[in-house]
């Protein structure tokens, strides 16, 4: 069985949650997000990131502000909105659920 497709589906489903997680701590711009995901060994193609960020913003989970930078072009810093925090709490809960399910099934005798 070829697991590539399943793996990429899993990653796709996780990506949204991961991005919101890393925005929980501090506002980030695209470069930070890419770097943090890279550090966390989450393999992601950059091209998929921008449509995702744009959708989260349209859904009201993210906001952004422009900040001038002395190191290059102006940067768009994304922040988690109140709705975003609420949604993230729900995702936390459902992640716990998934973990429990997998743990249960793995250790079932």
Partner 1 sequence: MKKNININLFGTLYNIDEDAYNLLENYLNSMQRYFNRQEGGEEIADDIEHRVAELLWKKREAGMTAVDINVVKEIIDTIGSAEDIAGDNNKAENAFASYNKRESGKQDGTFKEDFKQFAKEAERFTRDTYDRGREHVRSHRYYRCADDKVLGGVCSGLATYFEAGSPLIWRLGAIALTLLGFGLPPIIYIVMWLITPAALTPEDRLRQQGRDVTPNNLAEQVKCDSEPVVVQNENKGCLKAILITIAICCVLPLIFIFVIWGRIIFDLFSF
Of 58 and 106, which has the nearer Cβ to partner 1? 58
Cβ of residue 70: shortest distance to partner 1, in angstroms? 11
Residue 51 or 106 with smaller CB distance to partner 1? 51
Contact 22, 44 (CB under 8 A): no
Applying CB under 8 A, which residues contact partner 1? 2, 4-5, 8, 12, 30-31, 45-48, 50-51, 53-55, 57-58, 71-76
Q: Smallest distance, Å, CB 24 to partner 1?
A: 21
Contact between 64 and 79 (Cβ < 8 Å): yes
Q: Give the Å distances, CA to CA, from 25 to 36, 54, 99.
A: 12, 20, 23
| SS3 (DSSP) at 43 | coil
DSSP conformational letter for 109: -
Q: How far is the CB of 46 from partner 1 (least distance, A)?
A: 5
């Amino acid at each position: 069985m070829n697991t590539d497709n399943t793996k990429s589906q899993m990653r796709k489903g996780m990506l949204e949650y991961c991005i919101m997680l890393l925005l929980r701590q501090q506002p980030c711009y695209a470069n930070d997000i890419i770097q943090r995901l890279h550090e966390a060994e989450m393999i992601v193609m950059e091209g998929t990131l921008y449509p995702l960020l744009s959708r989260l913003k349209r859904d009201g989970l993210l906001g952004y502000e422009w900040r001038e930078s002395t190191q290059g072009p102006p940067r768009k810093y994304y922040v988690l909105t109140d709705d975003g925090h609420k949604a993230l709490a729900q995702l936390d809960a459902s992640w716990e659920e998934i973990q429990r399910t997998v743990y249960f099934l793995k250790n079932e005798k």
